[in-house]
Amino acid sequence: AQSVTQLGSHVSVSEGALVLLRCNYSSSVPPYLFWYVQYPNQGLQLLLKYTTGATLVKGINGFEAEFKKSETSFHLTKPSAHMSDAAEYFCAVSDHSGGYQKVTFGTGTKLQVIP
Amino acid sequence: KAGVTQTPRYLIKTRGQQVTLSCSPISGHRSVSWYQQTPGQGLQFLFEYFSETQRNKGNFPGRFSGRQFSNSRSEMNVSTLELGDSALYLCASNPDYPGTVGETQYFGPGTRLLVL
């Protein structure tokens, strides 16, 4: 069974500082990895995803994530935080081992950006 | 294309009542999933439908049920509401094209249910 662990339910950074949100996964088959963002009173939207190919994935709003198979990690980073980045971030893993896609979400990390 | 729509957006019910929530996926999307989101439990998977069949199910009691229609629209029903059912209910769709992997889930804005 696949699973996702997000370290830190709340992360605070100063505006302009590096954002690092951690995600570790467990999957018995090659995983497909996602980061989603949720702004208040909205649904989740895709930030970026890794399926195959280059392990460094760039997404929207200046975010990127690196797939590290040896560490089973897919951490999300952004060099300089903006106030508008304050939101909740979800890491997710999916596989097709059963013939169709099954997605498992992490518990989420709320990012606070301090002016 | 229009995004995933959910109706109603807000709902207030009392304990013991039942509620039906509706989700219209993006046109052409065949898979619809439902999630419950609460501050304490986070995002929890309820069930997923594909071609009018429940394909996957989370760990929720039988009071939670759903269905999908031939046009891929989906409804979920919660019977005998409890206070703990107060949550944001999110619907997500994806195309589920044959042979495609790592498909993005497209989420609706959610229905916020308050049980008094």
pLDDT of residue A79: 97
In DSSP terms, which residues pair with A87 in a beta bridge? A111
pLDDT tens digits for A27-78? 877 789 999 999 988 899 999 999 888 899 999 999 999 999 999 999 999 9
Residues of chain B with pLDDT under 70: none
Which positions ≥6 away from A81 have C-beta within 8 Å? Answer: A13, A14, A15, A16, A17, A18, A19, A111, A113
What distance lies between CA B36 and its chain's CA centroid? 8
- What is the 3-class SS of chain B, one letter each residue? CCCCEEECCEEEECCCCCEEEEEECCCCCCEEEEEEEECCCEEEEEEEEECCEEEEECCCCCCEEEEECCCCCEEEEECCCCHHHCEEEEEEEECCCCCCCCCCCEECCCEEEEEC
Give percent above pLDDT 90 in chain A: 76
Instruction: Give the number of A-B residue pairs with CB atoms closer than 8 Å.
Output: 61
The tokens for A60 are 């929207």
Spell out which residues of chain A touch residue B106, defining contact as CB-CB under 8 Å: 46
**What does the alpha-carbon distance between residue A82 and residue B49 come to, in Å, rounded to a whole number?**
38
Q: How far apart are the first and last CA of chain A?
A: 41
Question: B104, B106, B111, B113: best mutation site toward chain A, by most A Cβ within 10 Å?
Answer: B104
For A100, the closest of B42, B96, B107 (CB atoms) is B96
- Any chain A CB within 8 A of the CB of B60? no
